[in-house]
Amino acid sequence: MAAEWFVGPILDKIIKACSDYLEEQVGWQTGMKKELESLRKNHPKIQAVVFAANQAQISDQNPALNKWIWQLRDAVDEADYVLDELEYMKHKEQLTKNMEETKKRTASSSNASFPIESASKICKVGERALKIDPNLKRLEEVVQKLDEVSAGVSTFLCVFDSTKQEQQEQQRELYKTRQTGSLPRNDLIGRGKDKEFVMQWLRKQSNEHPGTDLYRNISLLSIVGHGGMGKTTLLQHVYEDEMTEEFDCKMWVCVSNNFDVKKVSADMLESLENWRPRLETQALQDSLRTEIMSKKFLLVLDVISEEDEEKDKSKWEDVLAPLASGAFGSKILVTTQTDSVALMIAKVIKKEEEIVKLEGLEEDECLQLLNSHAFAGVENPNDHENLRVIARDIVKKLSRSPLAAKVIGGVLNDNLDERHWRTVLESKLLGQNSINSILRLSYIVLPNHLQNCFAFCCMFPQDHTFDKDDLVRMWIALGFIQPSQGMTMEDVGGRYYDVFVRKTLFDKVRDDYKMHDLIHESASKFFAQECGKLVDDEESSLKISETIRHLSVQTCPDILRKIEKVKHLHSLFLFYEDFNQDLYSALIEIFKVSRCLRLLYIRTDELQMIPEEIRYLKHLRYLKIEGRLNVTRLPRSLSNLYHLQYIIYDGQVRRRHEVDDFFPRDINNLSNLRYMELLYGNYFSSICGIGKLNSLQELDMFDLRNEMGYGIDELKYLNDLCKLGINCLENVKDAEEARNAQLCDKRRLTDLSLCWSNTYAKDINLDEDVLDNLQPPKCLRNLRIYRYMGARSAIWMNNVNPIFNLEKIELTDCLEWETLPPFGQLPFLKSMRLSNMLKVKWLESKVNGNDKYRAFPLLERDWFEAGVAAEDGCLFPCLIELVLHGCPKLKELPSLPPKLKRLEIDGIGWTTLNFCSNSNPIPIETLEVSDCPGITSIPLADEIARLAALRCLIIKNCPNLFSLGRYREVETTNNCHLMLSGL
């Protein structure tokens, strides 16, 4: 429990806010002022006690102290609720005032309203004078309670010797997280031989002869070892090796405890197709069977654990059945903690059991791994010999566990101070010879702001994939992230997330980040008083603490009885994907009993409407609804939840009239709204008066209309935008109207799309005037322009200074554009895409008459389509990837840039492929040629000496290719993997 958080920033906020509020009122609240003064005096004592209890981990051994801390937290939360409601009422009053002023402006002037307004104000003052203002009465009550509880701090001051104060201050410094750092480059220390064994197994043809057996085409290898031994890390390195490109398709699926056949089947398809199908189990398996039919596949099954192997055997039979359609040479790799699971899977597909057993690392390997994380991002790590000596002693306590070495390395990396490292070495948790105790050390030393965020992550089930942006939104909604000067809260939260990655509390699995199951299990127990889970038929569900703030519910039919005793629930996750009971009715009751919710997440396939009773959730900041559902509209009362910051709906809204009616009409009341997302439809364009949502961070695409409330002037005051897309720019009447968007004033805008809706003949001069007056701020990183019909560049493009920081440019379907601006002068440009730019003739390589100027100094990727080609390679000195797609007028391959590693050629009209490069050797590692029917030869033999770096050659759908030269020499000499198809 990160108790310091609520006795630090939160209690500070309460004392200040109460004082400010009382100053605005009449002077009868002298008693409350005394109580606030008492709170101020006790505040430092409270912080000292709570900090010491948290660091010493003694509150668990002192029930009275633990009880007092939770009583204090309850009192703080209740005060926070009241302040939240006061802010709610202020917002409501301001909206009413704005509405009345609007009516006055549109109606004829009259003095009749004055007496009514005056009487209302007199009545309010009279109520306060008579001490019957309900808001002030509640505020007085919660401040009194908070003062009473905080007075109890004196009881526990004796627990902490005054001589410990200096030590506590030292610990505060030691546990400060370094702001710099990075991940080590190689986590496969000590597993090189194991990787080579697996690679050789993948290359080896099956010893079995094709017969009539259902799984005759498949081979199976299991990687077995205790948790934290590096099984998943090993197979990640195998999976990402270029050699595995020889397989027609690859799948990586994590199979969690008590897994579901439907989910695993959907995960396999998602791994293949990069999108998640929403089908029933049988349809999923039929699709999977079709997708891998006669294809040689590689499947990794990352199995967490199993509880009932006999029960799971039938599920495994269902999961693996579609794989029988794969081609000969298909391979399955399994990770598991037990031999019995490996044996069971082998029996299902009728294979001999083949196992690689992972044991603990040797001590010197464990030390190397520890140091790689402890000194990650540190210049000259060899200068810290005193720390390396301590590290040798620490390693002896890590039970040879790679996971322990990584997470403790992350703890050490926080501070390169010898006192900090010795504190870790002498920690009681490190001396218990228990992996769970070692892992606990990795998160109890987190600063309180990070510990809150990490504790919340235990809410999610094992194997949960963390979406960085969405997780940060949740942290913001729960008040875990405070604004920082010069940074958005999203930026601050992103840094918190990066710390967890760097400390290996979040582990990278392919392109995703997850919490290791051992860390998840350990942290879930440690934070059980804060975070709880209700899972149907699980014994743990019976032990939900009344103190919990965050609750995850997975198909628990008796949810109301479980949660009605939880008085301070801040976040609720409902996973009801295949739930047969009336969830709608259950939600009505939940909204009535859990009115303190700040975050509500619903995943279900059953819901068609959100109850209007959501109006009770006045503290709600975050609402997310997802699943195979078809909610036709959001509740009208949603527009009265003035604290809402995030609305995310991942269901079906397909037709335009449904999008238009999906939101309440007065959704623009939500001036605190920072982000909104729907799976389908240009939803922002349906909101009239979107300019009132002045906290928005992203406005993906806004369709301009010639109607009041839908014009470009709505963008004028949206100055917090980081991402903006404007469509239908042909509806902008003139330059002045374009200037009203005031894009240049949006100091956080980094991503901008400017779109015209079609390329029909129109006023070219107007297009040019409009673009001239949509100058973005200098902070812009990404710029996209679609269907601009002007013949010239915008004025602000011709001077590099206004767009100095651009990293990515995309210009598409700008059919009349003739001369591109000097993009070569942009020092940070990394990616450029020009598509269907028919009149563009060249990209200047000479800049300001200087032949030696190296244009595009950082460009890493570029795409040229539909006849647009670059000149010589000096334009792109840092280019690492080049895609030539659909360039029928390109007569020969341009001079290759000196650092190019990947070259893709698709739909080119050449007859032969000749390499033109001043580099020797040519640095290309991957060459892919596809859909080139005219190509007849690729003279690899002539270039074999210069193609020393080539490791992967892929040629597809080139039916007239008859000569590759002596390509077998390339395979042998370079250890190059060759894939040929459609020849």
Q: Please, how many CA atoms are within 13 Å of residue 848, restricted to the half-sphere of its CB?
A: 9
Q: What is the pLDDT of residue 455?
A: 92
Region 823-830 average pLDDT: 82
Enumerate the β-bridge partners of residue 678.
649
In degrees, rounded to 5, the angle at the alpha carbon of residue 266 between the alpha carbons of residues 258 and 319 is: 55
Q: What is the pLDDT of residue 681?
A: 59
Most confident range, picked from 387-391, 894-898, 928-932: 387-391
How would residue 163 be classed by pLDDT, with cut points 50, 70 and 90? Answer: very low
Residue type, 143: V
- Pick 274 or 202 by higher pLDDT: 202
Q: Is residue 57 a part of any domain in this protein?
A: yes
Residues 849-860, mean pLDDT to the nearest whole number: 50
112 shares its domain with 215: no
Q: Chain-centre distance of CA 498, in angstroms? A: 11
Check pLDDT > 50 for residue 722: yes
In terms of average pLDDT, the best of 42-46, 483-487, 611-615 is 611-615
Q: Higher pLDDT residue, 457 or 657? A: 457
CA gap 594, 596 in Å, rounded: 6
Residue 795 has pLDDT above 80, yes or no: yes
Instruction: Say if 8 falls within a structural domain.
Output: yes
| CA distance linking residue 275 with residue 282, whole number of Å | 18
Task: Classify residue 672 by its DSSP letter.
Answer: T
Same domain membership, residue 151 and residue 205 = no
For position 202, what pLDDT does the model report? 92
Please tell me whether residues 218 and 300 are part of one structural domain: yes
> What's the pLDDT tens digit per position in 779-792?
999 999 999 999 88
Q: Between β-strands 507-509 and 512-514, what pairing exists: parallel, antiparallel or unpaired? A: antiparallel
Task: Using alpha carbons, list the distances in angstroms from residue 943 to 328, 880, 908, 980.
Answer: 34, 20, 21, 19
Question: Does residue 154 form part of some domain?
Answer: yes
Q: Is residue 299 part of a domain?
A: yes
Within a domain: 253: yes
**Which pLDDT does position 173 carry in this prediction?**
40
| pLDDT tens, residue by residue, 276-316 | 787 888 999 999 999 999 899 999 998 866 555 666 788 88
**pLDDT of the residue at 171:** 43
Query: What contacts 104, CB < 8 A, 6 or more positions away?
Result: 113
For residue 206, CA distances in Å to 210, 247, 325 come to: 9, 15, 17
Identify the pLDDT of residue 392. 93
Whether the predicted pLDDT of 750 surpasses 70: yes
pLDDT at 718: 95
82 falls in which pLDDT band (50, 70, 90)?
Answer: confident
CA-nearest of 480, 495, 482 to 448 is 480
Residue 680 has pLDDT above 80, yes or no: no
Classify 980 as helix, strand or coil: strand
pLDDT band at 403 (very low <50, low <70, confident <90, very high): very high
Residue 197: pLDDT over 70: yes
Rounded-to-integer distance, Cα 770 and Cα 763, Å: 11
User: Is residue 65 in a domain?
Assistant: yes
Whether residue 684 is contained in a domain is answered as no
pLDDT for the residue numbered 60: 58
Mean pLDDT, residues 768-776 taken together: 96
Q: What is the pLDDT of residue 151?
A: 78
Q: Are strands 512-514 and 723-727 parallel, antiparallel or unpaired?
A: unpaired
Average pLDDT of the residues in 34-41 = 74
* Phi, then psi, of 544 in degrees rounded to 5: -70, 125
Distance CA 402, CA 408 (A): 10
Report the pLDDT value the prediction gives residue 645, as an integer from 0 to 100.
96
Average pLDDT over residues 559-569: 80
Same domain, 208 and 137: no
Secondary structure string (H, E, C) spanning 150-195 = HCCHHHHHCCCCCCHHHHHHHHHHHCCCCCCCCCCCCCCCCCHHHH
Domain identity same for 213 and 352? yes
pLDDT digits (tens, 9 = 90+) for 350-397: 888 889 999 999 999 999 999 999 998 888 888 889 999 999 999 999
Q: Indicate whether 12 and 154 sit together in one domain.
A: yes
Residue by residue, what is the 3-state secondary structure of 459-489? CCCCCCCCCHHHHHHHHHHCCCCCCECCECH
Token pair listed for 545: 């603490």
Asked if the model's pLDDT at residue 4 lies above 60, the reply is no
Mean pLDDT of 450-473: 91
Same domain, 88 and 134: yes
C-alpha distances in Å from residue 686, one per residue of 419, 651, 665, 699 = 59, 17, 9, 12
Quote the tokens at residue 640: 């009265």
**Confidence check: pLDDT of 110 > 60:** no
User: In Å, what is the CA distance from 413 to each residue of 371, 397, 523, 642, 884?
Assistant: 9, 18, 21, 42, 44
Residue that finishes a domain, picked among 324, 357, 390: 357
Co-location of 124 and 223 in the same domain: no
Query: How many angstroms separate the Cα of 665 from the Cα of each of 622, 634, 637, 638?
Result: 20, 11, 10, 10
- Sheet containing 808-812: order of strands: 698-703, 723-727, 751-755, 782-786, 808-812, 831-835, 861-865, 881-885, 902-906, 926-930, 952-956, 977-981
CB 358 within 8 A of CB 247: no
Mean pLDDT highest for which of 193-197, 269-273, 840-844, 866-870?
Answer: 193-197
Give the pLDDT of residue 654.
53
Is the pLDDT score of 11 beyond 70?
yes
Task: Return the pLDDT at 712.
Answer: 95
The domain that holds 222 is classified in CATH as 3.40.50.300
- For the cut 70, the answer to whether the pLDDT of residue 941 exceeds it is no
Q: Tell me whether residue 38 is in a domain.
A: yes
Does one domain contain both 219 and 151? Answer: no
pLDDT of residue 591: 93
Q: Angle at the Cα of 811 (from 810 to 812), degrees rounded to 5?
A: 115
Domain hosting residue 46, numbered range: 4-174
Q: What is the tens place of the pLDDT at every residue in 830-841? A: 888 888 887 776
Burial of residue 406 (number of CB atoms within 10 Å: 0-12, 13-18, 19+): buried
- Secondary structure of 571-607 as H, E, C letters: EEEEEECCCCCCHHHHHHHHHHHCCCCCEEEEEECCC
Say which DSSP state 126 is in.
Answer: H
Query: Both ends of the chain: CA-CA distance in Å?
Result: 63
Is there a single domain that holds both residue 254 and residue 324? Answer: yes
Q: How far apart are CA 90 and CA 282, in angstroms?
A: 54
Gap between the Cα atoms of 267 and 302, Å rounded: 12
Please give the average per-residue pLDDT across 410-435, as a whole number: 86
Cis bond leading into 44, ω under 30°? no
Q: How many domains does the chain have?
A: 2
Lowest-confidence range among 449-463, 502-516, 681-695, 945-959? Answer: 945-959
Give yes or no for residue 585 having a pLDDT over 70: yes
Domain endpoint, select from 291, 326, 357: 357
Q: From CA 571, how far away is CA 548, in angstroms rounded?
A: 10
Mark whether 226 and 89 lie in a shared domain.
Answer: no
For the segment 143-161, the average pLDDT, to the nearest whole number, is: 72
Q: What is the pLDDT of residue 579?
A: 56
d(CA 963, CA 980): 13
- Average pLDDT (49-61) is 61
DSSP 845-888: --BTTBTT---STT--EEEEETT-----GGG-TT--EEEEES-T
Kindly state the tokens that stand for 453: 């965020």
Please determine, for residue 497, whether its predicted confidence score (pLDDT) is greater than 90: yes
In a shared domain, residues 94 and 234: no
The mean of the pLDDT values for the chain is 80
User: Which H helix or E strand runs over 254?
Assistant: strand 249-255
pLDDT over 70 (residue 56): no
- 3-class DSSP assignment, residue 213: coil
Distance CA 413, CA 418 (A): 11
| Final residue in a domain of this structure, among 336, 357, 378 | 357
In this prediction, what percent of the chain has a pLDDT beyond 90? 31
How many residues are there in the chain? 983
User: 685 and 701 in contact (C-beta within 8 Å)?
Assistant: yes
Please report where in the chains the tokens 């709610």 appear, as a residue.
Answer: 88
Angstrom CA distances, 364 to 371, 389, 421, 438, stand at 11, 13, 19, 19
pLDDT at position 105 over 90: no
Q: What is the DSSP secondary structure assignment for residue 8, as one 8-state letter?
A: I
